Amino acid sequence: MNTQNFTFLSSSFPDLAECGTKAEEHVWTDPTASVMRSRMFLEITLKSVSEHEGVMDDPTLSLSQRLGTELKSYFPPLLLDSVHRVRIEGNKAVHCEPQSTKIAMEVLKNIFEIGKWLHSKYISPVNQKFVGPANPADQYQNDDKELREKDALIRSLSDKLLEKEKELRESPRVSSPPRKGASPFTALFEIDGFEFGKNVVKDTRTGLFWARNGNLPDFPPYGHLHDWGSSTKIGFDWLEAQKWAEELNLDGHYDWRLPTNAEIMQLCAYAREKGFGSFPRITNDQAHRTCSIASYFCSIGFKGVISNIAKGTYWTSDIDANGVIWEANLSTGKLDNFTNARNSFLVWPVRDGGVAVSDGFKKHWHIIEDYFERLGR
């Protein structure tokens, strides 16, 4: 509960500020305890008045007896009604008579007025007005309603994103001209169904072009590992990966993108045909280096002409029915979709040979950005 009625007492009368705050906190949850705290507030007030006025006060006497002494003369007549109300209701609470929230709230307002008078008389005037504390149950209901509304909004945005993804997958692809200076692909040599250019490699079976460097941003290897103690950036989150691929200019072409599940799994299938990606029952590092999908592309199968394919995790562009993004492990050649879109993974960009799905993707980019914003990216 946000309590503010008694903060003005904190500097000069900290005991009163604490006691008043406790009374305020219990108004709705434990009215009887709140009234008992208010009675204690009155006792501390009497002690403070006696100290400031230099008069005798015997704390062993009852409140009624103490207010029958000289102390009574220092209270304004109009305030005495509040003083006695606190004393009477406080005595009932001390003797285990249950108190209602209504009474607790009225008594709380009484001690607020007593506190204002005390501070104004001995320290400085107080112009603050009493504000009744809100019922926490109402706040919980409001919070729950707000959370439900946000959850519904996120689900709606997720559904909309999935619809757009489906629309883009099914819509005809539009040719995207290369940037000025781009030249037609020229194969320098061919290995195992792949034609190699200077910076890109063409899969002759699918017509797709892949970067020859599987880690163009030059992140540390093993994109699936997280060194939380390091400030070194280890990869892109999914939104960063999408934007980076869209902005990539490689060989004069700007229609690069993240691969789909099917596209990157097709590459893994080539390696699996050669016996890669399925580890024997040994755990040494040599086996890991020689059996992974990445090893097939980077060293063994292609003699290093494809570089920097990490035995780690790469983003794909696909999203499952629950709005969770898929990623590919290029050590084992398997797909996973248990990840968070804010994780950091690597990117192996692909393009369709002059046909860009990214143009359509750009039209709906605001939906994706809004989706991440709602998730609290």
Query: Are 207 and 341 in the same domain?
Result: yes
Domain termination site, one of 66, 95, 130: 130
In this structure, are 63 and 156 located in the same domain? no
Is residue 370 included in any domain, yes or no? Answer: yes
Answer yes or no: do 283 and 181 share one domain.
Answer: yes
Last residue of a domain, one of 74, 98, 130: 130
362-to-216, 237, 261, 368 alpha-carbon distances in Å? 22, 18, 20, 10
Structural domain that includes position 316: 142-374
Say if residue 152 is in the same domain as residue 123: no
Co-location of 176 and 96 in the same domain: no
Residue 43 within any structural domain of the chain = yes
Q: How many domains does the chain have?
A: 2
End-to-end alpha carbon distance in the chain? 28
DSSP 122-159: HT--------PPPPHHHHHHHHHHHHHHHHHHHHHHHH
Residue 2, in any domain of the structure: no
Largest CA distance in the chain: 108
Q: Are residues 175 and 39 in the same domain?
A: no
Q: Does 321 reside within a domain?
A: yes
The pLDDT of residue 163 is: 76
Say if residue 203 is in the same domain as residue 230. Answer: yes
Task: Split the chain (377 residues) into runs of 10 and give each run's mean pLDDT.
Answer: 82 94 92 94 93 86 85 90 93 90 94 95 93 79 72 75 70 50 70 86 90 84 42 78 90 89 86 70 44 73 71 84 81 76 86 50 41 45
Q: Is residue 203, in this structure, part of any structural domain at all?
A: yes
Global pTM?
0.46
pLDDT of the residue at 300: 57
Q: What is the pLDDT of residue 369?
A: 47
